[in-house]
Amino acid sequence: MRIEERYAHILDWFRQHMPSAESELRYDNPYQLLVAVILSAQCTDKRVNMTTPALFDRFPTPQHMAEADPEEIYPYIKSISYPNNKAKNLSGMARMLVSEFGGQVPSDIDRLQRLPGVGRKTANVVAIVAFHQSAMPVDTHVFRVSDRLGLTTGAKTPLQTEMQLTARIPAEDLPAAHHWLILHGRYVCTARKPHCEACGLKPWCRYFARSEAKSSRPQRQSQ
């Protein structure tokens, strides 16, 4: 199958079957989204959503959080993975937001990446979700599902996956495509054992085609 056909069929399938895919993190404004995405590294969205209501009550704005030391933030996020580092990053991020960006979350990916705790993936997520920009954040689900489907070939790093996907997915589809791939990876094309039997993408999936070819090869008889 030509790569163009694979992309066209897969994107069409997602458009039909997941028309309203969006982030599962709960937030009301770009500041809350940024905090939630920083907390979600190596942690489930469900766990983050259990934690953020009390955190946002106590620190409703970047100014409130900027006044806090990491030790004051820690108790609110201690049930999340890496709470010490994340408390430091939240405090540093809020201080920079206030001192350099007038208390506003920047929409520009390069400026976002200057904030403590914000790498390329986090900056891309904030850019597409809060500011509706065209970008492709690559997390572990996007990386794995893109490779299995055959949307990427030989990508060794998240950046290589991002480059291959953004070269072929129309810019207007990128924000939705990010959520399509994440949700598909979280619930169907799971890491240890993909649920191919329940997956509507089988006809265009490279991994599935290879598995089928392997299982239909005649077994060598033992002499």
Contact footprint for ligand SF4 (CB under 6 A): 148-149, 188-189, 194-196, 199, 201-202, 205, 207-208
Tell me the closest approach of the beta carbon of residue 26 to ligand SF4, in angstroms. 27
The residues near 146 (Cβ < 8 Å, ≥ 6 apart) are: 138, 152, 155, 161, 164, 165, 181
Amino acid at 73: I
CB nearer ligand SF4, residue 97 or residue 149? 149
CB nearer ligand SF4, residue 43 or residue 199? 199
> How many CB atoms sit inside 10 A of residue 86's CB?
25
Tell me the closest approach of the beta carbon of residue 142 to ligand SF4, in angstroms. 12
> Residue written as tokens 């108790």?
75
Known binding-site residue numbers for [4Fe-4S] cluster? 189, 196, 199, 205
> Residue written as tokens 């599902």?
145
CB nearer ligand SF4, residue 13 or residue 74? 13
Crossing angle between the packed helical segments 120-131 and 174-187, to the nearest 10 degrees: 120
Tell me the closest approach of the beta carbon of residue 211 to ligand SF4, in angstroms. 8
Residue numbers annotated as active site: 121, 139
Tell me the closest approach of the beta carbon of residue 164 to ligand SF4, in angstroms. 17
71 burial class (0-12, 13-18, 19+ CB within 10 angstroms)? exposed
CB nearer ligand SF4, residue 96 or residue 188? 188
The residues near 208 (Cβ < 8 Å, ≥ 6 apart) are: 196, 199, 201, 202
Known binding-site residue numbers? 189, 196, 199, 205
